[in-house]
Amino acid sequence: MITPVRRNWSPQELFKALTPVMFTAEPSVVRARWNKLWPELYTEYDARHLKKELSIRNLIASEEAAAFFDAWAADEERHTEGFIQIMELVADGSEKDLWGRLDARSHNFNAINEYLKEEFSVMVMIAFDEMCTCHAYAADKGFYAGLGSNRFVRWLKEVIADEAVHSMNAVNVIRARYSDRIHEVGAILDGLTSGVADESDYGGTFVLDYFGEKYTKEMLANCRGTILRNVAKPLTTAARDGRNHRPS
């Protein structure tokens, strides 16, 4: 069985020396920070609902996928907790209020029913979505640099690295379990690249949150090409052992 790559870092350790008073700003600036960070927080949080939906539909069929989703879900919880800390520091958020808002949101998986039929299509969807998120976060460096501490840029780098590892871990499941179906990946990706063009259309599914100016047709096409290249590569011994630390 292949083993997913894991990364070990802590947002609590990263931000422990920071306090909200360090990042006070005009109300309009605080609101802009909130408007930027809130969708990032709730899409990360929604990973728990996607994992639950996969379990309800009994779509996690292999040991490899089960190991992947356990590691992935733990990382997404780490991202959720980190975004809550950031919003407390720079956007006048409170942990209790933010968790309440998150828990009150509804979730509808109708938009991705086409991909929730079997483990293979789920893994392709996740591999692509994590690659897109990796690129979207990379485009946010200026925002995080402008928050007033290099700790936020460090945070961003850690999250980007997590997302890249998630994509490659999902690719490795595809290569290990579905090597005979690699030729089907392109067609699935073609359907996914239509994405969700508006935030109001997002159903809390974790995936297909492709709204905002970062998600250009060019970016989605580049991510599609990267996934196609990665699934076509031979599965190495290092990848099987969870030692492939340099995802493409």
When pLDDT is cut at 50, 70 and 90, the band that residue 246 belongs to is: very low
Is-contact 206 35, C-beta < 8 A?
no
* Percent residues over pLDDT 70 in the chain: 93
How much is the pLDDT for 227?
98
- Mean pLDDT, the chain, as a whole number? 93
When pLDDT is cut at 50, 70 and 90, the band that residue 193 belongs to is: confident
Q: How far is CA 83 from the centre of its chain?
A: 13
Paired tokens of 248: 């493409």
How much is the pLDDT for 236?
75
How much is the pLDDT for 241?
63
Indicate if the pLDDT at residue 238 is higher than 90: no
Indicate if the pLDDT at residue 243 is higher than 80: no
When pLDDT is cut at 50, 70 and 90, the band that residue 1 belongs to is: confident
Q: Which of 2-11, 208-217, 222-231 has the lowest mean pLDDT?
A: 208-217
Cα(66)–Cα(62) distance, integer angstroms: 6
Cα(21)–Cα(39) distance, integer angstroms: 24
Q: Structural domain boundaries of the chain?
A: 24-240
Q: Which of 129-143, 169-183, 195-209 has the lowest mean pLDDT?
A: 195-209
Per-residue pLDDT tens over the stretch 136-147: 999 999 999 999
Annotate the chain with DSSP letters as a single string. Answer: ----------HHHHHTT--GGGG---HHHHHHHHHHHHHHHHHHHTHHHHHHHHHHTT---SHHHHHHHHHHHHHHHHHHHHHHHHHHHHS---HHHHHHHHHH-----GGGGGG-SSHHHHHHHHHHHHHHHHHHHHTTHHHHHTTS-HHHHHHHHHHHHHHHHHHHHHHHHHHHH-GGGGGGHHHHHHHHTT---SGGG--S-SS----STT--HHHHHHHHHHHHHHHHSPPPHHHHTT------
When pLDDT is cut at 50, 70 and 90, the band that residue 248 belongs to is: very low
For residue 50, which of 155, 104, 129 has the smallest C-alpha distance? 129
Per-residue pLDDT tens over the stretch 56-97: 999 999 999 999 999 999 999 999 999 999 999 999 999 999
Q: Is CATH 1.10.620 what the domain over 24-240 is classified as, yes or no?
A: yes
> pTM, whole model, 2 decimals?
0.93
CA atoms within 13 A on the CB side of 169: 28
